[in-house]
Structure 1
Amino acid sequence: MTTPSQHPMPPATQADAAALLLAANRRRRRIRWWVAVATLPLTLAGLLLVGKVLSMYAFAHQSISSFVTGSYAESESAARGQTWLNGFEQFKAPYNIGTAQAGAEQLAAARDHLEAALPLATGLDVCYVRINLSLVIERQGDAAQADGDAVAAAEFYGQALQVTVETPEECRSDEAQNQSPDPSRDMSDTLDENQQRQQQKQQQNPEQGEQPSEQGEQDQPSQSDLDDIENRLDQGAQEREDQLGEDGGSGGTERPW
């Protein structure tokens, strides 16, 4: 005789099977929900990264297009859009801003941004940052020269020349030319022309700056001239004394010099 515990469980009814299936579905939904919650940060980060990349290209394209058409304010505004969460190619935002400001003749601000971009650039990206920075400093020299400040102009030209001379030799390679933002200009020829022009401007301006001081030196008597004048004064005084002695010291007035 068998006991009740030895009897197998009775077959499940259709209702019991449906309940089991519903419970399993609830468990799966809960698992999917927790997986979704756990991966939400990664999903958001991925979407943000994709959006950032697309926006970077969009802002860069707009900045370039505006610059080409001479809309420098719009070019600068678009370039500033690249600064938001700029975690890669960080040099491009200040480079594009500085380039747009240079087009608008905002030379001091352009120089600040290009100098900020230079240490952020790596590899052959350094090449065109240096070229633009050198040109901006040279134009600062031109502005100082136009204002009549030859000394400041010479200083700017010297700084521009230094930036050009310190440009890596790799910037003259074909690979650097292929990365140039202006493929129509030969980078090697541009560097040679910049160096030659800036050197000539620097050499011309010190001479102009020295002219006033040289003229001032010519206007002032030398030490030998001063000694000669002193000797003449002493000789004149001696002659007067001799003449007064010959007149017997009469009450005549002393002659003027």
Structure 2
Amino acid sequence: MTDLSTRPRPADPGDPSDLTAQAAAALLASNRRRRRIRRWIAVGTLPLTLAALLFVGKILSMYAFAHQSITAYVADDYAGSEAAARGQDFLNWFEPFKAPFNIGTALAGAEKLPEARAELEESLELASGLEVCTVRINLALVLERMGDAARADGDGAAAAELFGEALTVTTEMPEECDSEEAQEQSSDPDRDMQQSTDDLEDRLKQKQQSEQQTPPEEEQPEEEPQPQPSEDKLDELEDKLEQGTQERDQQQGDDGGGSGTDKPW
């Protein structure tokens, strides 16, 4: 027979100590669930957080490189301007035309005209809307300077071709470029874009026409006829020649035919 006094007594539902233990256990379990949820949220949002940081860093670096490039260009530090502009070229998602535009402008300042042309042509392909206005003006200016260099080297045909290409770039300028909005977006707000374009077109037309005109042939001066000696003069020269021959023969006879060098006349 079992002693009832040794059996464990069932917990009293109304015991305060048991209620406290149950509440503590439930709180711990809830905290563990919340920590797991926070951990999974952190892991899940980590790529988004990194992308956001990269996005902000890229924007800040673009403005920093752009400011540095402009500052160096104004100070005639074209090498520094080019280096800063190339910093914009990395992961250039937002305004892809600006990096080659700034690089080409810096190269043009350093008189590296063929390289500048290549960069500006790339910028023109990437530009859209009003962005093409400033790119076209700078590209036309570079082509004009290349034409000037060819003309200075005496290559008129190449100069005329380059002037024609520059003129094509300006004449294909969209009508939207002649607007206040385009002027506000210009890389040089102090420059009147429409007036600059008109002046550039007029200048290119004059240069192209001057190279295409064939220079007039220089007239060869007519040779004046040489005066012919008179008969009296010819007779006098003939007498002198005969007299000289006689004197030489006489001298050779006196010398006994010895060898020697004839004296010049």
The CA RMSD over aligned residues, in Å, is 2.3
Corresponding residue to 1:157 among 155, 159, 163: 163
Q: For residues 192 and 49 of structure 1, what CA distance do their matches in structure 2 show?
A: 41
Tell me the SS of whatever aligns to 1:64.
helix
Q: For residues 51 and 92 of structure 1, what CA distance do their matches in structure 2 show?
A: 18
Corresponding residue to 1:39 among 19, 38, 45: 45
Alignment partner of 1:57 is 2:63? yes
Measured after TM superposition, the shift of residue 103 of structure 1 is 0.6
Corresponding residue to 2:139 among 133, 158, 163: 133
Q: C-alpha deviations, 1:175-205, integer Å up to 9, x for none?
A: 1111111111100100000000011000001
Q: C-alpha deviations, 1:209-240, integer Å up to 9, x for none?
A: x44xx859x99xxxxxxxxxxxxxxxxxxxxx
Alignment partner of 1:192 is 2:198? yes
Q: 2:90: which partner in 1?
A: 84
Normalising to structure 1: TM-score of the pair? 0.76
Structure 2: which amino acid aligns with 1:45? A
Residues matched between the structures, number: 210
The 5 Å alignment of 1:102-251 reads 102-207=108-213, 210-211=214-215
Measured after TM superposition, the shift of residue 170 of structure 1 is 1.5
Structure 2: which amino acid aligns with 1:51? G
Q: For residues 48 and 200 of structure 1, what CA distance do their matches in structure 2 show?
A: 51
Q: 1:48: which partner in 2?
A: 54
Structure 2: which amino acid aligns with 1:37? V
Structure 2: which amino acid aligns with 1:72? Y
Stretches of 4+ moved more than 4 A in 1? 7-11
Normalising to structure 2: TM-score of the pair? 0.74
CA 1:148–1:13 in structure 2 vs 1: closer, same or farther (change >3 Å)?
same
Q: For residues 150 and 191 of structure 2, what CA distance do their matches in structure 1 show?
A: 28
Measured after TM superposition, the shift of residue 102 of structure 1 is 0.6
Q: For residues 155 and 35 of structure 2, what CA distance do their matches in structure 1 show?
A: 77
Max Rg structure:
2
Structure 2: which amino acid aligns with 1:160? A
Q: 14-23 vs 148-157, which deviates more?
A: 14-23
Tell me the SS of whatever aligns to 1:83.
coil
